[in-house]
Every structure is written in structure tokens, then in C-alpha cells.
Amino acid sequence: MTGIREALGLLWSASDDAKMVQEGKAWHTWGEVRSLAERIDSELTRVGCGEGARIGVVLSNRTESISSLIAILGKGRTIITLNPMQPTARVAADAVASRPQVVLAPGTWWEEAEFATAIAEAGIVGFSVDGIEVEQRAGGPEVTIEVATDEKDPVAVEMFTSGTTGPPKRIPLTWRQLEAALDAVHGHTGKGGDGREPLTGRVSLVSLAIVHIGGLWGVVQALSEARPIVLLPRFTVEGWVDAVYEHQLRVAGLPPAAMRSVLNAEVPKEKLASLRAVTAGTTFVSPDLADEFTERYGIPVMIMYGATEFGGAVAGWTKPLIGEWWTRKRGSVGRPFPGVKMRTVDENGKVLPVGTTGRLEVNSRQTGTGTDEWVRTSDLAHLDEDNFLYIDGRADDAIIRGGFKVQPETVCNALRAHGSVLDASVYGKPDERLGQVPVAVIELAEGAQPVDEAELKEFVRNQLTGYEVPVAIHTVDALPRSVSLKVDRRRLLEMVAELESTRV
């Protein structure tokens, strides 16, 4: 398998006229993408950013970001992702705290005084990147921030976790991890890009924000396999369906919230007839939702399990596995990828028997250590006798109510079973007597009439123990979501606070 950096170098053998990135209905050729990548590389080299340099990028779904990735990763530099969907002050603070030598951002960001001033005062060199133009906007003639690099295990990407349950954590992903993840995916799917003329074959559809590991991984895999990329600015049902239909895609990613949107839009079956499967896995995927999608369109849902810390997925379903096992293993997230080992342990680290729920530990080249060490996750899980993995909740999400443990996902599933509820989120609210109590927030299904809170509580009492029943159930027009389409817990708490203040 060719390494990622070497694979990026092979793009230079492609024809300049080859279609590379589609935005909307317009295609950008490899010649255009290459020309901008070379301009960015030239400017980075001019200010002293060679191999190992750390480059921050305000990373939105646009062609300029693809050129930036090629210029940075292609020369062995490190990319620090900055999320353009965050408020300006937060992006500026993230950039300063990350201490990159250079920041690349669209010109509109440099017109924000709060952003431009913070970058300049931190001594970071800044460039605007728009169209074919690369213009220096901050800093002196060369970088002044020093970089300490690990020559044994250099970092390729520094990115934030989704931060749905708390402040995001910055995660370093090494070249070794990314290449191990690519090997694992190819071992799982049996596909690769070796031996094919660059920028030919089926396109890769990237509909998630590339500042999230799901979207970024889609771009890195497409570039490594030298495939053309269809880049959606953001997920919309219309944009996703049009891309699938236009390019007759065989496989496409569809997070659960997006899957529900496709079902609610009643997309004609013929529009998705080319699909042989969809992949899903940025968050919990209900087997009921997967079955509903398969029943409607005849398309199997290949659920995956992974995390930012692993550089992508480490377990999942394939079509053959679905055909053989789905009815017996419904609710599982699939089997570990080739080369990945998993086990569960108790709070003291003791390995638990097969079928017993505990903290999930992973042993893989995709982990941060890359050795024979076991890396403990925040997920509660169990593995059955056939090595299928089941995610039972998150250890750090557990609500302790008067000494009793409540798993939010258990309560969410009970609420989702109500015909009027599209989705739900549950969190622990501090309580003076009990420590914490569960509070639920629901989003109604399209066309559903509002449901009385007392009715919902009575409904879930038949499925839950008494201490699991939420003390309050709020209804919102739409659950707030992050770039990975997970529920954004911080924004959710702000919405609830506003609802409660309004009631008062």
C-alpha cells in the first residue's frame, strides 16, 4: 500500500484537464487545484514552513480547502483544523491556543477584527486563500513560533473531537495512525486505488463537514485513492440525492439524522437505485432506523464504529455480514476490522467474560500508542461469542440518580419508540437531594401533533425503571447538531435554559 504522502505525490501524474472537485454543478480541474496547492506551498516555504511545520486552516467544504490539504500533507506538514461553524471569538481562541506557525483562512475571516487581531498579536503568520489568490494578512517575513516534532511518530493532523458532551479535546493523529486506518478500511472493504489512472473511476461524495473526522477522512481517502471528489458545502437531502443520482454512486455515507431526513422527504426509490449500501456511524444508529431505510429502498445500512482518536472507524458491517448475520445480530455495530482487537474491562481493569458489558478497550495500529497497549475508550460495550460489538452507552454520560446509574441512550430509545418522537437527547441535571436527575429534550416527527409531557412520561414508564424516567421532557423544533450531525449538548443546555426561563 502506497503511503498517504506518496499517494498525494502521484496526483502530479494526472492530466491538468482531469475533473477533480465538484462544487454545486461546477467542476474544478486538477490543474486548478494543483496550481493553488503550489501557490500555498510556495508561500509556506517562503516564510520558513517546511516538513513538520504546523499549519492552522479554517477548514470549510470548498475547493480551496482541498488544495490546502494537498499543500500541507503533501510536504509532510501538520494541519491544525479550525472549525468555521464556531463563533469568531472561539475560532480565534482555538487558533491562538493551538500555536500554529501559520493560519490559512478565507478573506472574509481576515476582515473580522477579532480574528485578525488575535492571530497577529499571537505572532502567527496569516494568509487569506480565495480562488487562485494567496495573500499574506498577518505576521512578519518569516515564522517566529518554534515547533517541536516527534521524529519517531510525527503528527499529520491535530483536530478536535466533536465536543457533544463537553468541551472539545484536541487530538493528534499521526501519519502512522492515518495510514493504519486506511489499511484497515481497505482490509475491511477489499478496495483500494492502486494501479488505476489518477482521478478516474467512481467519485467520492463528501457530505459531512471536513472539519469533522468523518468528512476529513472522506477527503484523505479520496486523495489517497486519487478519486474525483463531490464536495457538498453542507448536507442537504436535495444535494445528497442529486449527487447520488448524477454519479450513480454505489456506496455513500448517511449519518442517522440525515437518514431520517431522507426518509421524511420521501425521496423516490429510483433516485437511489444505484446504491448498493449506505454507511452510517458518526453517532448511535438505531437498528429500527436502519431497517426502515432498508425496507423503503432495498439498500442495506453498513453501521460503523470509530472515533476521532482512532483516525476513523475500527469496526463495522459489510454487505456479506449483513446478509448472513443481521437478523441474529441486529443492534450490533459490526465486527472489528482486520488487525483490530477489542475487549471489555471493569472499573479496575479486569478483563470481562464474553457478553459482559464494561469499558471498551481497543488494540490497534490506529491508536495513539501504536503498540501492543490496550487503549480504553469512554464507551460501555460488550462483545458476543461471534465477536460482534454492541455499544451499550457511554461511561462518561452516565447519570447517577440517588446512587442508581441511568444510561441516557436507554432513555432516548424509550422516547424514540413513541410514534410522535423523531429523536431525543437526555442529560443529567444537578439535584441537591439525588445528585443528578435525567432531563429529556425531544424533536417531534414531521407532521406530528405536540405530545403532552405527562403522556410521554407514562409511555416510557412501561419500558424503564422508575429512576430512569425523566423528571422533565422538553419539546424543541429541532435538536441542535454539531458538524457531525450529533446533538450538540452545550447548545442544547442553552436552549433548555431559555425554555425554562420563559416558563418562569
Judge contact between 266 and 297, C-beta under 8 A. no
- pLDDT exceeding 70 applies to what percent of the chain? 94
> Same structural domain for residues 312 and 366?
yes
Range 201-208 average pLDDT: 92
Let me know if residue 263 belongs to a domain: yes
> Same structural domain for residues 26 and 133?
yes
Last residue of a domain, one of 396, 413, 440: 396
Last residue of a domain, one of 338, 362, 396: 396
Last residue of a domain, one of 136, 159, 179: 179
> Same structural domain for residues 439 and 386?
no
Let me know if residue 227 belongs to a domain: no
User: What mean pLDDT value characterizes the chain?
Assistant: 89
**pLDDT, position 193:** 52
What's the CATH number where 66 sits? 3.40.50.12780
| Host domain of residue 375 | 235-396
Let me know if residue 225 belongs to a domain: no
> Same structural domain for residues 283 and 415?
no
Question: Which residue pairs, CB below 8 angstroms and at least 24 apart, start in 170-176?
Answer: 170/98, 171/308, 171/309, 172/368, 173/308, 173/311, 174/368, 174/370, 175/3, 175/4, 175/5, 176/365, 176/370
pLDDT band at 52 (very low <50, low <70, confident <90, very high): very high
Question: In angstroms, what CA-CA distances link 436 with 182, 372, 453?
Answer: 42, 38, 20
Let me know if residue 307 belongs to a domain: yes
> Same structural domain for residues 240 and 365?
yes
pLDDT in tens, 388-409: 999 887 777 778 887 777 888 8
pLDDT in tens, 16-50: 999 999 998 899 999 999 999 999 999 999 999 99
> Same structural domain for residues 375 and 407?
no
pLDDT in tens, 275-333: 999 999 777 788 988 999 999 999 999 999 988 788 778 999 999 999 999 999 999 99
* Sequence letter at residue 243: A
> Same structural domain for residues 338 and 433?
no
> Same structural domain for residues 120 and 165?
yes
> Same structural domain for residues 392 and 249?
yes
Give how far the C-alpha of residue 435 lies from the chain's centroid of Cα atoms, to the nearest Å: 32
Domain total of the chain: 3
d(CA 414, CA 459): 8
Q: State whether the Cα torsion 473-479-480-484 is positive or negative.
A: positive
Let me know if residue 381 belongs to a domain: yes
d(CA 65, CA 58): 8
Range 44-61 average pLDDT: 96
**pLDDT, position 195:** 64
Let me know if residue 206 belongs to a domain: no
pLDDT in tens, 163-184: 444 455 788 999 988 888 888 7
Backbone angles phi, psi at 55, to 5 degrees: -120, 120
Residue 137: closest CA among 104, 185, 172: 104
Let me know if residue 189 belongs to a domain: no
What's the CATH number where 496 sits? 3.30.300.30
pLDDT in tens, 335-383: 999 889 999 999 899 999 999 999 999 998 888 777 678 988 888 899 9
> Same structural domain for residues 404 and 390?
no
Let me know if residue 204 belongs to a domain: no
> Same structural domain for residues 14 and 137?
yes
Strands 229-231 and 19-23: parallel
Q: What are the helix (H) ranges across 200-318?
A: 213-224, 237-247, 256-264, 287-297
> Same structural domain for residues 274 and 257?
yes
